Structure 1
Amino acid sequence: MTADPPGFPAAQRSVSIKDVAKRAGVSVTTVSNVLNSRDRVSSDTRERVLAAIDQLGYVRNAAAWQLRAGRSRTIGLIVPDGANPFYSAIARGAEDAAVEYGGAVLVGNSNHSPEREAHYIALFEEQRVQGVLIAPVGDPDQRVEALRRRGLPAVVIGRTAQPESSSVSIDNVAGGYLATRHLLEVGRRRLAFIGGPASTPGIGDRLAGALRAVAEQPDATLEVLETTDLGVAAGRAAALALLDRTDRPLPDGIFFANDLLATGALQAFLLIRHVDVPGDVAMIGYDDIDFAQAAVVPLSSIRQPAALIGRTAVELLAREAEAPDENRRHILFQPELVARESSLGEAPSRTRPASDTTPTTQH
């Protein structure tokens, strides 16, 4: 039996966050908020918690989740598209947070395949990771619940999970509304939404927001073109298909479901067919990846706080590991409109509305 180091009795090592909460007369969540420097804790409550920590000698060893027997100091992150800069930014945010906790992140790319997603879940379990962050291909609830039953915390990224699981996501309906409303406010009325497949998480919500914005503008229309994937090549193909058809004119405003699609369309419009952007067609993407600002025509986009999403997911995982029954939360971030040159030019006179559209405040 190993002797206790001098000045570090066994009683001190056994103090848990629940002991601190009991001594301070607060919940475990409140103690966790104090430990993570959350502003929403009142000064009086913070002082009580800090006093209890001092009295009990509670020491947080980087993170409670590192102390779980038989686990490595890594967490698993599963994303549907490792080539998409948006998911790379999520991974960077998760890695930054994990390093602060003394750990590391292992990333698996499911490539939109449920079978490959299941493979990574099984692999991470075999590696005895501390927990799993998953941006799921399909319905995550059954898999996440199965992980939790086996004692492995999991946080869902990109959609709201069932109450039994923590999640961090973006309000995609609001994002679709922001993008489409922006095109309407700069005078575009013959709109198109390009993205897909429709089953891809978030795509249906973005389309729903776009439809809501168009419904508020009586003289506007929205054409929906579904793509097979969300890559650059699919965006280029969609743009060329619009240019090649003869039965209807080119839309004067296009909302792309992500920036990679918009990037491919920019290539088709500017380099292959020499279409004026934004003169002939205004464009807006989604995600605000680094390339959006650096494009030949800087791309308007809906910004998601990708790095913050990754960081928050790790923090939720750590909180749940500390107290699984008390620390489940659902964080919903709000998107932000970033307007650039691709949508800010004048619409051709033949498509400009007879009267100005009054801008509306977005929430």
Structure 2
Amino acid sequence: MITLKSFFRSWYGTLWIILLLAAISSCMVTFYTTEESLFSSITMKKHGLIFLFSLVLMLLAIVPVAFVIYKLDSYKFLGQNEIVRYLIQFALLVLVLGAVALRIVYKVYLEVFGQDLQKGDYFERDFVVVMFCFIMVQFYYAFRKERKINNYKKKRVKVMQKWLLQKDEQIRAVEKKSNELRMQYEQELNELRNRKQRLRANHDRLSSDENRLKACLKEVTQQIEVMIGAVNEWVRITQIAYFHLKEGSARSKLVDVRLLDGREGTVDMDSLAKIERQWPNLFFRAGRGLLIQQLAIKDQYKEGNDYIVQLLGIDQEQLKVPAEAYDRLLKIREEWALVNER
């Protein structure tokens, strides 16, 4: 039942097409196989009744033809092997179904009209007309299928053309944006070149600072893998507030890390010394178990006898550091201020 519903919902089972094909076929069977002319046969009541019977019979024959073609078109193997498919189709719809349909027509004529068509002079003509009708129906479906495919291809071409136009517009927009960025980068590059020319005048004095800046910029772009909970996450160095050692960290060979967003985790390093050697321009040691990231510092100040370093981030954390570390940090920040002024 599901297959039949799918058939009648498809273009193969369009009702008015099936009725039209059945009417044409019944006209050919009725009027072409009679002795009288077409115009004289139309006015005859007997031929009118024959036409109606032929219409019912051809309708019952054309529906299976359409259904078989519908099923054959649905098989992928037969679609890839057209010779096999048309041989099967010819055998089923021309030979088998034609013979069955012709036998039914003879039986109906004999039972209803008392006329044995096999004893007449038009046996061969009847068979040829029925075969022609079935072949005509198959040609119709083949032609319509080809038109459906061509219409689909045309529609697909239009869709692809529209898609290509959209892609062209997107490419042009990206090109425009890239050109704007290129001009922006060229301006920035020109500014950097001009600055480099100014720095060359004092090369001897600024060479160490320039190398330091380059090293610092390189360190800023680097990342480190941090284990936060049970998940490993790649974190930029600039997102780190500080590294520190908790009790038992030396035994686990892990260093604890605090991020600016308030999260905590660990890194697979067994000492702060390795971290300090890897990023010497971004971190400074503020005690035996603390390594602070310089770009994470918001302010530093004294509060009574305590030396406080206030960090950026969500918690605005305040760390107590030794006086020696406080003075060294103050000196480092002054050096960076001089570098920026140059």
Give the TM-score of the pair, scaled to structure 2.
0.21
Q: Considering only CA atoms, is the larger Rg found in Structure 1 or Structure 2?
A: 2
The structure whose residues are more often helix, as a share, is: 2
Give the TM-score, by structure 1 length: 0.20
